[in-house]
Chains A and B, each alone.
Chain A
Amino acid sequence: MELLEGIQTGLLTALSWHALLYCFIGVSVGTFVGVLPGIGALAAISLALPLTYYLDPTDALIMLAGIFYGAQYGGSTASILLNLPGTATAAITCLDGYPLAQQGKAPLAIFVTAINSFVGSSIAILLVMGFAPVIAEFALEFGAEDYFAVILLGLVAASTLTIGSPFKALSMVALGLLLGMVGTDVNTGQFRFTFGFFELADGFSIVAVAMGLFGVSEIIANIGQSQSVIQKVGHIRFRDMLPTRAEWRQIIWPTLRGSGIGSFVGALPGTGPGIASLMAYATELRLSKTPERFGNGALEGISAPEAANNASVQSAFIPMLSLGIPGDAIVAVLMGAMILHGITPGPNLINQEPQMFWGLIMSFWVGNLMLLILNIPLIGMWVKLLSIPYHLLYPGILVFICIGVYSADNNVFDIFVVLGFGVLGYIMRRTGFPATPVLLGFILGPLLEENFRRAMLLSKGDATVFFTSPISAVFMVLSLIFISSVFVPGLRDRLARKRPEVVEDPE
């Protein structure tokens, strides 16, 4: 009954004309910043936040949240069309999205990601509606050792099953881990590997690393090309976008699994959509009977991560709305927006501000429907972008990347960082070293270290804590199974048959 009442209150709020208007503005802005490489949700929300000071708090929050999840829809578009991730979290979508576009299946790929995004969001919103307080309390059970074990599993799962040469992939994971070491040591406050650059005190920015390795390197690789990606884009028919029956079957399970992984990861504060999509991709690769298709345009390779990052963004609201704990930097800014409107999120938010709580959640439905409706007709327009000649398109994109990286902290230094990583990414391409494992190590490494050291600090140096905590023990055992499956002969043989062939250097 309480749920129905809430839904009713929420719908009344979310369907008022002003809420609809701000929701529409939010998701449209979100879609655009998502599509534009470099400018992500964090930058857009930070810029939009001061504008909301004069709005009604619920409208303000509906709009800012719309930018947040809207960006996840748009993020994959540039990954598919241009091999340039629109947002840092969509980097993984390049792997199979771009090959699909090269096979002329760009409309299909974008359509599929829109559906994945919608399904992923919907599942997570259902969880938020029905179980937010329960899930939030469960997430409180996760201690540092449990986080460590979950992240370790993610790292192990993803790095034992990378496409291409295992040696090259593992060495790139190590590079990522090393890059993640740069910055302030959480436990002692010491600056590490900053080499006198004070700007590195917080480490490399994730946006700069992802945009450099995936975006700028792609642009460098195309210097000298004078033509457009495709010379002529014919009229795109709706039929071109629709998956066949076999393709639907291909994506159903990856989408659902991705949604599940995303919802779980998103609800854990401190993780985020980047981790969700990496884990979802690794899971599909692991479960696939034909892993050799991954990296060559497997629909599962875009479905799972796209469902996962959208689900994770929606479920990231669970700890914030039910406990007042923001799960990542973007949610923290959203929470800041609530606080500056005089509403401090805490365990009583649902009871004290039911109109805002339910209004926001019901606006998620409204916003996601808008996004679905908005995105499908836009597919034709985005694909037409490909007919813009390189010499016009790429300088433009480079400008957007620089603006996006700069606007995160208003720091010029980050522009040099993104260009540096662009050069590194280009060298890696020429030498056949994959960029995804770098990102994996870079995102997971610092979390792994932080939680390991905190677990050891709280257990007074007793390492058995990783096996005595039940949650941690389960994930540690899963990690061990993964690792041993690589070394135990019987399993290894089975795996060897499954392991994809070394993919040729794309150059």
Chain B
Amino acid sequence: MHRRVLLATAAAMLALATGFSGSAALAADTYPEKPVTIVVPFPPGGSTDLLARKLGESIGEQLGQPVVVENRGGAGGTVGANYVASSDADGYTLLMGVTGSNAISAALRDDLPYNPVTDFDPVSIVISSPLALVVNADSDFKSVQDVLTYATENPDTFTHGTPGVGTSMHMAGELFGLKSGTKLVHVPYKGSAAALQDLLGGRIDAMFGDILVTSEYINSGRLTALGVTGTQEHFLLEDVPTIAEAGLPDYAAFSWQGVFAPAGTPPENLAKLYDAISTALGSDDLQSLFRERGFLVEGMTPADSKAFIASEVEKWTAVVDAAGLKK
């Protein structure tokens, strides 16, 4: 703590000194001259909040300015994203965006007041995380193949619970139906906990769930993981195949989190932030967080992130259109 305060003070004095002597040409070099805010579009305590705080701490140390995390929850992350989209594009207000707020919502909604593609300059897609297709341990479904067979023979019967319309869990289910030519029944809840409750109670067939949360139930023998939605096996769930390996080739879906700035932010500031994020990702603190939470490190450059977002929006738009979900 002390070190951070000292660093921040030293940097502030430095900034002040260069500010006095500096010229306009130095403007970009002085960024950041004041605290940077990262908006987390969810209440505190979730994985996005935790990532933003750990990341913010490291970025702050490196850039010599405190990074403040501000929680602006609501409407699946879109309220916070909207706030950042309409903030000044100076690099002092950033968003910890997620799959829902920065890609799926673009595919799903016409009535969104911001455009997830054109209203943001991504700094970096920081991490990704696949989901796990889980069923109750007492369920008759023992493999992805069982699910495929059942869903093919009984259309509109196999139920999967999600934390809501337009979440990455929902999209993973829709993609599953689309790729396999089957129709699953989407059962939306208000949040993962309620869906998990019904899965444990045996009232829904399956969930495409967060790996960390479901692994607790898998280890205690309450749930069985049939497959992971990523392109390779996941270290928290050994011996669980990918859904693609298990019978649905080409299937891949995962959620991700990244840092976004409002569109028009000076590229020098984006570059500075990106460098700080890259360095942060190598730190022991964040590495251990990633292992604990089951995150896969991405650390994409601003340019790669921009291309990635475009591809995600395209991918989910195709799914939304095919499933007829457009609002």
Interface residues of A (CB under 8 A from B): 46, 49-50, 53-54, 139-144, 184, 186-191, 198-199, 201-202, 269-270, 319, 323-326, 329, 332-337, 339-340, 342, 344-348, 409-411, 450, 454, 457-458
Contacts and interface: CB of A to CB of B under 8 A. Distances in A.
Given A50-B44, A188-B165, A329-B43, A450 B193 contact: no
Q: How many of chain B's residues touch chain A, expressed as a range?
A: 35 or more
A139 to B, nearest CB: 8
B29 interface: no
A336 B204 contact: no
B78 interface: yes
A186 B188 contact: yes
A187 B111 contact: no
B164 A186 contact: yes
A140 B202 CA distance: 9
Contacts of B43: 46, 329, 332-333, 336, 409
Contacts of B53: 50, 53
A410 B165 contact: no
Contact of A269 (B50, B72, B193): B193
A323 B192 CA distance: 13
Contacts of B187: 454, 457-458
Interface in B123-175: 159, 164-166
B113 interface: yes
Contacts of B165: 184, 186-189
B193 A326 contact: yes
Contact of A347 (B50, B73, B217): B217
Contacts of A450: 190
A270 B325 CA distance: 27
25 contacts: A46-B43, A49-B44, A143-B201, A143-B203, A184-B165, A186-B188, A187-B165, A188-B327, A189-B327, A198-B79, A269-B193, A270-B190, A270-B194, A324-B213, A324-B216, A333-B43, A337-B45, A339-B47, A339-B50, A339-B212, A342-B292, A346-B217, A410-B70, A410-B71, A410-B72
Nearest to A191: B111
Nearest to B45: A336
Contacts of B191: 332
B198 interface: yes
Contacts of B1: 54
Chain A interface, DSSP helix/strand/loop, else mixed: helix
Contact of B78 (A144, A201, A337, A409): A201
B164 A189 contact: yes
Given A46-B44, A186-B190, A325 B49 contact: no
Given A186-B164, A187-B165, A458-B204, 16 more contacts: A46-B45, A140-B200, A141-B201, A186-B165, A186-B190, A188-B165, A189-B188, A202-B75, A325-B196, A332-B191, A333-B43, A342-B292, A347-B217, A348-B216, A409-B74, A409-B79
Given A337-B45, A347-B220, A454-B187, A409 B203 contact: no
A116 B111 CA distance: 48
B75 A184 contact: yes
A140 B201 contact: yes
Nearest to B75: A201
B274 to A, nearest CB: 25
Nearest to A346: B216
B9 interface: no
B190 to A, nearest CB: 6
Contact of A336 (B44, B82, B194, B222): B44
A35 to B, nearest CB: 23
A198 B75 contact: yes
A53 B69 CA distance: 13
Contact of B74 (A139, A186, A201, A457): A201
B73 A340 contact: no
Contacts of B82: 198
For the complex of A and B, the 5 pairs showing the least CB-CB separation, nearest first, are A336-B45, A189-B165, A346-B216, A201-B75, A140-B201
B194 A332 contact: no
Contacts of A339: 45, 47, 50, 212
Given A189-B327, A347-B222, A348-B219, A50 B69 contact: yes
Contacts of A324: 196, 213, 216-217
B198 A143 contact: yes
B283 interface: no
Contacts of A143: 198, 201, 203
Contacts of B212: 339, 344
B193 A325 contact: yes
Nearest to A142: B201
Nearest to B218: A346
Contacts of A347: 216-217, 220, 222
Given A143-B198, A187-B188, A347-B222, A199 B45 contact: no
B185 interface: yes
Contacts of A333: 43-45
Contacts of B219: 346, 348
B63 interface: no
Contact of A344 (B71, B164, B213): B213
A344 B111 CA distance: 37
B31 to A, nearest CB: 24
A411 B217 contact: no
A408 to B, nearest CB: 8
Contacts of B215: 344
B207 to A, nearest CB: 13
B108 interface: yes
A142 B213 CA distance: 22
Contacts of B69: 50
